[in-house]
Structure 1
């Protein structure tokens, strides 16, 4: 049996693991890669996936970094069944359409620029027709129901406690007269988080592919996190400004609404401070949560049965249209705006940040993981200025990073979950984490639990055979192409030298032309200064 790691390998996006057993290929997850332009290129290249040869795909949950390439695979040849839980199917119905719309809009914007420059048109990564076809391939399954993704493989979903419908996957593979058990953790949730049930316990596996997003730290106490949110609200309310909350449309937005519901009951939310859920996708996702109360935790179901719905209360308002969203930027009174995306790299949140990030008295509240290269990560890491929608914006607002809202288990919680496995010969593959967090977590697992741990690389191939050490192959040149810094710096120096050699020509130009050239050169200098400051 072989596993090819096509994403979430030493990073947190693009989850996809292609398995081959008995000559049959199938995949667990097919997430979109998110980050800088080099990372985004991985979404274009379908050659490693060979979608026409995949027989089925199992999706752990609806987040785009686990499901967002499904329409792309369909567009490029995949036509097999897709297995997911019932709520995941409902969420994918709206999320993949939204993602397709974003792809179409981005392609349209790029083509507008390309036409002006005389460059060829580009196609969207996929369109809404591809998304519709992808959703049509989904075969929903209940938790604990057995199914066969390919002949010789049995699988079932268990609750991962991450978001509505999220799953841990148990796989039993029959090959050469032997049965091997693999467990995919998916994204593990925090015990006792709002709305969602706790992660299911698994006790046996030969191989475990485990997420490690927060492998190097624990989360803050949920009560303290709620108090921090209350503090942000008090601060901006007193200053007559807004609280801006970048939030993932699914689960995070709903958990924040629930938390605001609690703060309102505690008297810590001003009665005249409106809350705007400014994300059509989050609004639709909230409706999916309401339609599937049987998958929510006991406490939430009891509230609903008693006539108190934590996703419905007087201060809460939904802004569906772009016009309603833009009107919020003209609102000159305190308000709370929850908007996607959670890492501030797409969606309406970019406009809200452009209008509020520079305002002293405003609050920017981050409640989830911020991947390397995203605007959210730059703000959290202390950037003084940030480029948003082509405009450099000063960071004058008060920035809050509240870890207690994460839908991911923290380090100690992951170790607790992992300690339930009884097979000490089990081999652990750490995925869905940045290298620093993974190395810390791997050492903890080895020292405390005595398990063998491997951190796979992007495009790594692993051959698994019970009783033997995994055989590992990786083409490092393809996985992490080297950057030719000597060439880049040499080119920069040559261009600067060319400019210097033409300085006499520059000085002979009219004064107004010289000032324009000076401004452009100052922009280059500022870019280099910023680059040096971020080293």
Structure 2
């Protein structure tokens, strides 16, 4: 089934998939499924990284939002849900379907994103006024838009339960193992030629995660759309990664510096807190180190995590069942107020600072980089994916200086990349996951950079592989 260029809306009774984000790239996931008389969007994420990200986020979706009946949200990361308020602002009036945990986390993420959008618009407005320009700075969406989008969320679905969207189409969400509540969406579609099963992976977690249960693909499918973030590499095993983190912390302690860890608020922050707790209990972290979670969103997300004990691996599940807290102990300081965050600037050594955002494209971590990145005694530890064009990627790729708050900051701190903590499947995990879907006729690769996508494509037998460009279509 070859890919084709965009055409008119599907009124023929056939099945059509079109691709409107995360095509040959890692952010901005958005796909449109037309089947059984329904127009179904799967994910609606923000584009992140690169100079044109703002333009891409403000651009038309590639379809009419008011014509969409259902949006299926695979998980609550910003690059999958971040344009939902904009979709509603531009006319979407349908249902948003996801797991209950995703519904809770998405509200948190979207409110935070809306606040950031408003703050950015206010900043741009002040710049216009200083230049004497009498016009308003555009805002992608507001807090009010985010609140309006919450009205579209349907009650959360449980994993493994088929949910009828109409008489011809049902959706079943399967545990994707990526973050709390993350799901792969399986659509079962009745056609004149028989039933068709189409699976969109969302983001897939590793087969041996540190915190959550592993992913659970549904079995034989006809068409699979899957992410390829790490399609060209293998992750380091988890335990050596944990050991390396402990070693970096100890070495930085002896140098008299701080450890700054840019941290995604959902899953990565909680995973690291659990690992640091074990390090303290096992005396692998110096007793004098102080741990700061400097992320209001991560603090709130952690409270949500604690309500879903059944989604964690056995040791964490057992702790939560006993009423113990794997994410908080006497050595952890949760910082909600900006004044508390600013006070960290006075601490020159002995601090482990977990702060968002993970790609360093916003959030409090940028302030901590400004105060620690130029100091040889300090360490900056990256434990997640960094997209092209982000500050994190520039530091990882060896930039000697970076631009922060109007200054050129030298990169003199020790920079470490420890990829064993990734919440994404590596190449071996992706191949295992794909093999569990049987022998699909077509496999569509999305959410990956070209090198990763091409490397995975070479390892997929007995299926026709597609790598769509923006707006491409696949008729089934």
Q: TM-score, normalised by structure 1?
A: 0.84
**Aligned equivalents of 1:151, 1:347: Cα separation in 2:** 45
> Corresponding residue for 1:163?
179
Q: 2:397 aligns with which of 347, 372, 381?
A: 381
**Aligned equivalents of 1:461, 1:417: Cα separation in 2:** 24
Task: Answer yes or no: is the 8 Å Cα contact 2:160–2:173 preserved in 1.
Answer: yes
**Aligned equivalents of 2:170, 2:95: Cα separation in 1:** 15
> Corresponding residue for 2:464?
452
- Secondary structure of the residue aligned to 1:15 is coil
Task: Answer yes or no: is the 8 Å Cα contact 1:55–1:150 preserved in 2.
Answer: no
CA deviation string 1:415-473 (max 9, x = no partner):
112122333x521101110001100110111xxx3322111112212222xxxxxxxxx
Q: 2:350 aligns with which of 318, 334, 338?
A: 334
- Report whether the alignment pairs 1:94 with 2:121: no
Query: How far did 1:187 drift?
Result: 0.6
> Corresponding residue for 1:11?
25
Task: Answer yes or no: is the 8 Å Cα contact 1:344–1:376 preserved in 2.
Answer: yes
- Secondary structure of the residue aligned to 1:174 is strand
> Corresponding residue for 1:76?
90
> Corresponding residue for 1:518?
none
- Report whether the alignment pairs 1:242 with 2:254: no
- Report whether the alignment pairs 1:107 with 2:121: yes
**Aligned equivalents of 2:235, 2:157: Cα separation in 1:** 32
Query: How far did 1:387 drift?
Result: 0.9
The runs of 5 or more residues in structure 2 that have no matched partner are: 1-14
Query: How far did 1:42 drift?
Result: 1.6
Deviating beyond 6 angstroms after TM superposition, the runs of 4 or more aligned structure 1 residues are none
Q: 1:415 aligns with which of 427, 431, 439?
A: 431
Task: Answer yes or no: is the 8 Å Cα contact 2:263–2:355 preserved in 1.
Answer: yes
> Corresponding residue for 1:63?
77
> Corresponding residue for 1:205?
221
- Secondary structure of the residue aligned to 1:253 is helix
**Aligned equivalents of 1:186, 1:148: Cα separation in 2:** 20
Residues 1:30 and 1:151: Cα distance change in structure 2 (over 3 Å): farther
**Aligned equivalents of 1:294, 1:127: Cα separation in 2:** 35
CA deviation string 1:344-397 (max 9, x = no partner):
010001111011100011000000000000000000001111111221110000
More helix by share: 1
Decide which moves more: 413-422 or 259-268: 413-422
**Aligned equivalents of 1:47, 1:405: Cα separation in 2:** 33
Task: Answer yes or no: is the 8 Å Cα contact 1:185–1:208 preserved in 2.
Answer: yes
RCO comparison, higher one (Cα < 8 Å, 6+): 2
> Corresponding residue for 2:35?
21
CA deviation string 1:112-151 (max 9, x = no partner):
1011113321231111111112122111111122223355
Number of matched residues? 460
**Aligned equivalents of 1:41, 1:451: Cα separation in 2:** 35
**Aligned equivalents of 2:362, 2:167: Cα separation in 1:** 40
- Report whether the alignment pairs 1:117 with 2:119: no
- Report whether the alignment pairs 1:296 with 2:312: yes
- Secondary structure of the residue aligned to 1:233 is helix
RMSD: 1.4
> Corresponding residue for 2:10?
none
Q: 1:429 aligns with which of 421, 426, 444?
A: 444
- Secondary structure of the residue aligned to 2:184 is strand
> Corresponding residue for 1:478?
none
> Corresponding residue for 2:189?
173
**Aligned equivalents of 2:102, 2:61: Cα separation in 1:** 27
Query: How far did 1:190 drift?
Result: 0.9
- Secondary structure of the residue aligned to 2:306 is helix
Q: TM-score, normalised by structure 2?
A: 0.94
Task: Answer yes or no: is the 8 Å Cα contact 2:36–2:169 preserved in 1.
Answer: no
Q: 1:439 aligns with which of 440, 444, 454?
A: 454
Q: 1:226 aligns with which of 242, 256, 259?
A: 242
Query: How far did 1:154 drift?
Result: 0.6
Query: How far did 1:236 drift?
Result: 1.4
Query: How far did 1:49 drift?
Result: 3.2
**Aligned equivalents of 1:113, 1:145: Cα separation in 2:** 51
